[in-house]
Amino acid sequence: MAHNDQIAEASLKHPIVPLDKGQLYKYGTAGFRMNADLLEGVAFRVGLLAALRSRKLNSQAIGVMITASHNPSVDNGVKIVDPMGDMLEQDWERFATALVNAPSNEGLVEIYNCLATDLKIDLKIPAKVIYGRDTRPSGHKLITALASALDATNTEHVDYKLLTTPQLHYLVRATNSEGTPLSYGKVSEVGYYEKLASAFVRAMKGKKIDGTLTVDCANGVGGPKLHEFLKYIPKDKVNFDVKVVNDDVLRPEVLNLDCGADFVKTKQRAPPNPKTQAGARSCSYDGDADRIIYYWVDPETGFFMLDGDRISSLAASFIGDLVESAGLRDDIRIGVVQTAYANGASTNYITQHLKLPVTCTPTGVKHLHHVAQGFDIGVYFEANGHGTVLFSPDALDYFRNKAPQSPAQKDALETLVALGDLINQTVGDAISDMLLVEVILAHKSWTLRDWVMTYSDLPNRLVRVEVGNKDLFQTTDAERRLSSPEGAQDEIDNAVKKYKDARSFARASGTENACRVYAEAATRSEANELAERVARIIERYGQ
């Protein structure tokens, strides 16, 4: 019962579009992501792979998310979620790539069967796939293609319709842990809201939130979901005053347009619409609500941004203090994970002031997540605002079961347990990260200005460089150095030496055909100058 005929027949309805110049589709850091017109056949074939993966993992549920995050609304993407809510295991990315690039219908069926044989997958056992999509209009068509592959392979499937990416990750983990001692929560969207709302109340411990928080939802799926979540917060327990803006999901063309976390981070300014009130505590989600950036506009000094590095250092500092108060400093290993894009000032602050170890990994959530799992408490954030804090099951057990010696210890332990529920353990989550920040600011009675004052960011600049072939650029040392082309790194080193407190690196983008150059230095003009210099080096070597 190899589903051959069903796959062949269904596949005809969802053909793959050959790419220009014989290029291949590639399962990258964000799954398959491109213009939605190219994705119908891709979604169908990803369905086949998700079914195989579920069968390989003893019928556990696999997730598929349809979203292109912060990209324009004409794009879309297809991404697989593993049973614990993690990203697809890296080994399987090439199987996805192989299936999606199968040249013909017969070729597709053949690769599907080869994978099943090579990976010793029993095609007779049950399989389950659950999925959701963001607000992009193309989502319907892609879901239809995906579901058709699941029907063809006799796979049980559940359509959760509109979801944020982190909500789907939650649901995958909740589905697979249901009824076990490690149950992650009720298997429903409501279960997600209830879990977060309850943990939020417990983590707040009666503290007051100061003023209104304005949340820019990038006109994406985060808008309706945040509105929904807010209904679950008991008003008599927490005074959380939220003003939701850019929550128009009826006009697809405004998705991520001049708003959202990616806009704020890359343009280093507040969204022009609606005008950000001076002094208002504000944050922006991205189009699928897995990134968040905080900011405010100061009436005198202008725009201030609190990005992923800031959230990471804030969380590490607060959790470090709680662990200390709980009397567990020697028992619980806390680590912070960053990428080369983390501002050097944040790395210094965490290592020197907080005295916590920092590990640098290549760009891409899966790398950070993996390293963070090695700690009792692993804090990971990319500068772009994607990140979370992972608590090991042992650490959570410890917090739940340790007998407190004092009221202060009891408080700290209870807050740690609440944070374990509040913080999405599967992936970065804008709603959950926002609640975490609000909890910490309330506990510390801090404004965003107090938060900014903890250290000063080094001025930095990111430049995108068009090159003939980005694959010429290979990196080492967590992307901080180029191993090829030969000679390029020496030239970068020489350029960096000319500036004070400077650092610069170049890497090939994983999502576009270009290289990115990052530079930071003691002053803004030096950071700009260094970035331009290094960009010219890359241009020259990339010809």
Which residues bind to Mg ion, rule: CB under 5 A? 69, 286, 288, 290
Contact residue for ligand 16G among 4, 6, 29, 268 (CB under 6 A): 29
Among Mg ion, ligand 16G, none, residue 63 binds (CB under 5-8 Å by kind): none
Residue 200 CA: distances (Å) to CA of 339, 390, 395: 29, 17, 20
Residue pair 73/56 in contact (Cβ under 8 Å)? The answer is: no
Structure tokens at 103: 């040249």
411 marked among binding-site residues: no
Query: Is residue 364 a contact residue for ligand 16G (CB under 6 A)?
Result: yes
Q: Is 383 annotated as a binding residue?
A: yes
> CA 489 to CA 77: how far, in whole Å?
34
DSSP track, 468-537: S-GGG-EEETTTTEEEESTTHHHHHHHHHHTSTT-EEEEEE-SSSSSEEEEEE-SSHHHHHHHHHHHHHH
- What token pair was written down for 314? 């804030």
DSSP state of 185: S
The one catalytic residue in 69, 177, 284, 325 is 69
For the question of residue 69 being annotated catalytic, the response is yes
Q: Answer yes or no: is 199 a known binding residue.
A: no
Q: How far is the CB of 429 from ligand 16G (least distance, A)?
A: 12
Cβ at position 85, least distance to ligand 16G in Å: 13
- Residue in this structure with the two tokens 């903890």, named with its chain if needed: 454
Q: What are phi and psi of 262, to 5 degrees?
A: -70, -40
Nearer to ligand 16G, 271 or 287 (CB): 287
Shortest distance, position 510 Cβ to ligand 16G, whole Å: 3
465 with 515: CB under 8 angstroms?
yes
Strand ranges across the sheet with 515-520: 460-465, 515-520, 503-508
Residues 6+ positions from 283 with CB-CB distance below 8 Å: 213, 214, 215, 216, 292, 293, 294, 295, 434, 437
Q: Residue 365, interface with ligand 16G (CB under 6 A)?
A: yes
Does residue 536 have a known ligand-binding role? no
By rule CB under 6 A, what count of residues binds ligand 16G? 14
For residues 288 and 520, which CB has a smaller minimum distance to Mg ion in the complex?
A: 288
241 is in an annotated binding site: no
Residue 284 is assigned to a ligand binding site: no
Q: Residue 347: which of ligand 16G, Mg ion, none does it interact with, CB under 5 to 8 A by kind?
A: none
Of 256 and 475, the one with the shorter C-beta distance to Mg ion is: 256
The 30-69 site mask, x for binding ligand 16G (CB under 6 A), equals x---------------------------------------
The secondary structure of residue 290, as a DSSP letter, is -
* For Mg ion, the closer CB: 189 or 262: 262
Does 464 count as an annotated binding residue?
no
Beta-bridged to residue 460, according to DSSP, are 520
Nearer to ligand 16G, 454 or 509 (CB): 509
Q: What is the DSSP string of 200-239?
A: HHHHHTTPPPPSEEEEE-TTSTHHHHHHHHHTTS-TTT--
Q: Which of 138, 256, 282, 363 binds ligand 16G (CB under 6 A)?
A: 363
Q: Please, which of residues 368-427 interact with ligand 16G by CB under 6 A?
A: 382, 384, 386
Interface segment toward ligand 16G; rule CB under 6 A; list 127-135, 276-284, 364-372, 527-535: 364-372
326 assigned ligand-binding residue: no
Torsion of CA 346, 348, 351, 352, to 10 degrees: -130
Phi/psi at 296 (5° precision) = -150, 160
How many residues appear in the chain? 543
421: nearest Cα among 248, 212, 193, 92: 193
Enumerate residues 247-306 that contact ligand 16G by CB under 6 A.
Answer: none
Least distance to ligand 16G from the beta carbon of 68, Å?
A: 10
For ligand 16G, the binding residue among 516, 517, 518, 538 (CB under 6 A) is 516
Q: How many CB atoms within 10 Å of residue 162? A: 15
- Name the binder of 288 from ligand 16G, Mg ion, none, CB < 5-8 A by kind: Mg ion
511 known member of a binding site: yes
- Given ligand 16G, Mg ion, none, residue 6, with its beta carbon under 5 to 8 Å by kind, binds none
| Cβ within 8 Å of residue 497, ≥6 positions away | none
Q: Is 507 annotated as a binding residue?
A: yes
Residue 509 binding ligand 16G, by CB under 6 A: yes
198 binds, among Mg ion, ligand 16G, none (CB under 5 to 8 A by kind): none
Find the binder of ligand 16G among 4, 144, 511, 523 (CB under 6 A): 511
Q: Please write down the long-range contacts of 478-483, taking CB distance under 8 Å and 24 or more positions apart.
A: 478/339, 478/340, 478/360, 478/361, 478/362, 479/339, 479/340, 479/362, 479/363, 479/505, 479/507, 480/340, 480/360, 480/505, 481/505, 482/506, 482/507
Q: Is 516 flagged in the annotation as binding? A: yes
Selected from 17, 351, 512, 513, the binder of ligand 16G by CB under 6 A is 512
457 binds, among ligand 16G, Mg ion, none (CB under 5 to 8 A by kind): none
Look at residue 64 and give its three-state secondary structure.
Answer: strand
The encoded tokens of residue 408 equal 């202060």
**Residue 286 touches which of ligand 16G, Mg ion, none (CB < 5 to 8 A by kind)?**
Mg ion
**Residue 18 binding target from ligand 16G, Mg ion, none, CB below 5 to 8 Å by type:** none
Taking the complex as a whole, how short is the minimal distance between the CB of residue 63 and Mg ion, in angstroms? 15
**Contact criterion met (CB below 8 Å) for 137 and 252:** yes
470 binds, among ligand 16G, Mg ion, none (CB under 5 to 8 A by kind): none
Q: Which residues are catalytic?
A: 69
Q: Which residues are known binding-site members?
A: 69, 286, 288, 290, 382-384, 507-511, 516
Q: Which residues are known binding-site members for substrate?
A: 382-384, 507-511, 516
Q: Which residues are known binding-site members for Mg(2+)?
A: 69, 286, 288, 290
List residues near ligand 16G by CB under 6 A.
29-30, 363-366, 382, 384, 386, 509-512, 516
